[in-house]
Amino acid sequence: MTDHSTEPKGLAVPRGRLARAGRMGGLASGLVGRAALGGMAELVQGRKPRLSDLMLTPANVTRVADQLAQMRGAAMKMGQLLSMEAGDVLPPELSHILARLRADADFMPPRQLKQVLVEAYGADFLKQFQHFDVRPIAAASIGQVHRARDRNGRELAIKVQYPGVRESIDSDVSNVATLIRLSGMLPRHMDMAPLMAEARRQLHEEADYGREAHYLTRFGTVLADDGRFAVPAVVSDMTTPQVLAMTYLPGDPIESVADAPQDVRDRVVAALVDLTLAELFQFRMMQTDPNFANYRYDAETGRIILLDFGATREFGSSLSEGYRTLLRVGLSKDTPAIQRQMEVIGFIRPGLRPEHLAMILEMAELGFTPLRDPAGFDFKGNDLADRLRRRGMAIGNEQELWHIPPADTLFLQRKLAGLYLLATRIGGRVDLRRMVGRYL
């Protein structure tokens, strides 16, 4: 019997700043009220409770996770950013909420979907389609994607933005940050301001479908002659501020490659690694969202299908060259130079105590290990990710080491971490030293 309790479901997206702020206000007051009652009960029994213990009850955690997921937009994006940056220093209860926010979003019910399509295409929008599948094939923080066939017979993927998300970004971010602060879920000394600013910026960018169409076209152009990849084409005559229309490219989940022969797995992982290196050092333009759902695999052609360019960032030469230098000194095992370059990039801050600096440099040494092996690196069954996670947890326990890098560094690190997890899931063997060397 299948458990459907955590599967995405059709839930209307709260529309408008007042409606969304009301949801957040009601959630916050509900948490405070329940915490006050719980605190009184504890005091009556002679115990002095901590605020976080009162807030983070199982019922409250579930309520927060479900409400933020239903909000979509900024709520989900804040969860993704927090999980990316704070990671191992967060309490298990907040990790549970973030896991819910990283999962597939609930989708709009048909009635609300129809309203959005009417606003985008007019009341007779169905005349533009031979077929439109109401059930989405994907749903995320900003919008959901539907398969369709237009009146000319073109197979399309139609990305529909949730109503009200774009107009409510700034207030959403502030409300979510207030809720998280109020709950006591974050470490006391963690500064949320940079995360809030970055959440606002990225949400505004991802909600700009004209911008995403621009990068979709640019990636299609730079990869046009690379037979390893396929990128959907923008269908301009059906794209509006609320709807991004693209050609539909059939494919299977990228994780399905894990069941393919070893040579196929090796080829796919090598292609993904090479693409990331090219994005950083050649294009200086990177799709920074490492969600596995942004990659598909066409077994018939052997091509990797690239999707979702809303999180694309362009990097300046200083970041690109900074990482090129970091890789050079890392491959040469020059520890003092590694330290200096990590400070230049902003990955660590200067002036750390020797014992804390040693912890970070030990973790960096682990990270460089796969790049130094002349025999190549086998991602399958490798415990490097677990060792890095344990080191990360140890670093997270040291408040002096809590540090938010510059946004570009942060998102680049997220992409690299996601690439490593995907390569591990597929189980490819790659000569990373040779591949990296081509760009140095």
Give catalytic residue positions. 289
Separation between Cα atoms, residue 371 and residue 362, nearest integer Å: 15
Residue type, 431: D
Nearest to 12 by CA among 28, 3, 27, 23: 23
* Residues found in the chain: 440
Q: In sequence order, which residues have a C-beta less than 8 Å from that of residue 58 and are 6 or more positions away?
A: none
**Please, what is the Cα angle at 354 between 350 and 359, to 5 degrees?**
90
Instruction: Count CB-CB contacts under 10 A for residue 422.
Output: 23
CA proximity to 96, closest of 138, 56, 54, 52: 56
Q: How far is CA 303 from CA 227, 271, 272, 333, in A?
A: 7, 10, 11, 36
Residue 52's nearest CA partner among 92, 6, 100 is 92
CA–CA dist 97, 393 (Å, integer): 19
Contacts of 415 (CB under 8 A, 6+ apart): 276, 286, 287, 288, 289, 290
Helix, strand, coil percentages (3-state) for the chain, rounded to 5, are: 60, 10, 30
